[in-house]
Structure 1
Amino acid sequence: MFDEFVVLDFETTGLDPATDRIIEVSALKYKDGILIDEFHTLINPKIKIPYEITEINGITNAMVKKKPTIDEVLPKLLDFIGGLPIVAHNAPFDAKFLKYNVLRYYGEDTINNTFVDTLAIARKLYPNLRNHKLETIKKHIKMDVDSHRAYDDTLVTAEIYLKYCNVLGQNRADRTDYERKTIKNEIELTSFSELDFPTRSKKKNQVIIKVNIIPNMLI
């Protein structure tokens, strides 16, 4: 459980960080449960956004045409995040795109932040939901925001993590120490603190993806 953290979400042209590009980013900074800063922008991917992606998130080629490119956005995003823990829903997806782009533009993966996956947390907090997509969760907790847009998705993700923090809070009279410990341990088994995704092949000078999931003992 962290007192200060950044909630991160990307919208992209697809699922593969090797060939697809980021088209929107939102990062929300929280301290002591309060939103203290925001970072949000559309990004010009310099490739065409597939029709099926626009159907999902509503982001069109016209919307990103005059927006900054990732090489302009990335330094500002990294400065915003700093060394804080990163909270994301289905965190491996966002972590891959973040680490891959850092490797692409800086030549090495410098992201050593702790990652917290709220998908694993949501499965424990809301075990009776038919699935644990953000769209489903936002309806369950009655949040009136859009889906599949980075800013709105970070708001929902933040609510999941803040609820988790409240469950583990020391002053919660409605839960025993045993209940808090049980929930914490169950979530930790499926969460992770570090991701070692992209490495560069010296022989072929190609970027490849390597995934190591390490159990998180710090949430």
Structure 2
Amino acid sequence: MSIKTVIFDLDGTLADTSKDLIAAANACFVRLGHGAVLDPVADAATAFRGGRAMLSLGCDRLGLGPEAVDREYPYLLECYGANIDRHTVMYPGAVEAIGRLRAAGYGVGICTNKPAALAETLMTRLGVRDLFASLIGADTLPVRKPDPAPYVAAVERAGGEVARSLLVGDTITDRDTARAAGVPSLLITFGPDGRKVADLSPEGLLDRYDDLDAAVARLIG
């Protein structure tokens, strides 16, 4: 029998990557002669929605068209890759909670819309890559979240089956991915959106990683 599996989003769920992401986006705007356009605190929620979302927000503020987003995106990735763990930290209790899941026999993996190489690098530098049996990034497959295929791959590569799994995330993308895969979603409330994620109607909310074990047991046993 396959194991029960818990799959995690990365940015804004496992780790607070917002400051390093915002810094990379601002490097693009500085290069264009506009200075730092995004705020590392006020714009953190946008950071967790990805590089293109940050560039789009900044370009909108500057009155630049969508072509600027496409043009600057490779430079954003370059800057981010060079400074990927300058400020990034795992959320309190995350490492310990994942260790408890593994000890209890659950499979654990990552499904992220961060490019796979960057995700691998970040998890390795944070010293936690070995905790996860799978890691599926934005470019691992031809599609990305909220298409369910990356989630399914993350579950299967962790040794599980979709029917006995759940997704821990922080955004509507994660909620929609879980819905498309037919599995429960557990959304964290300690990100920039706070308890407003309840409006997305997930099957569960996670206020702190100390409560992860009980939430997982309630949702998938």
**TM-score (ref. length: structure 1):** 0.32
Whichever structure has more helix as a proportion of its residues is 2
**TM-score (ref. length: structure 2):** 0.32
- The structure showing larger relative contact order (alpha-carbon pairs under 8 Å, at least 6 residues apart) is 2
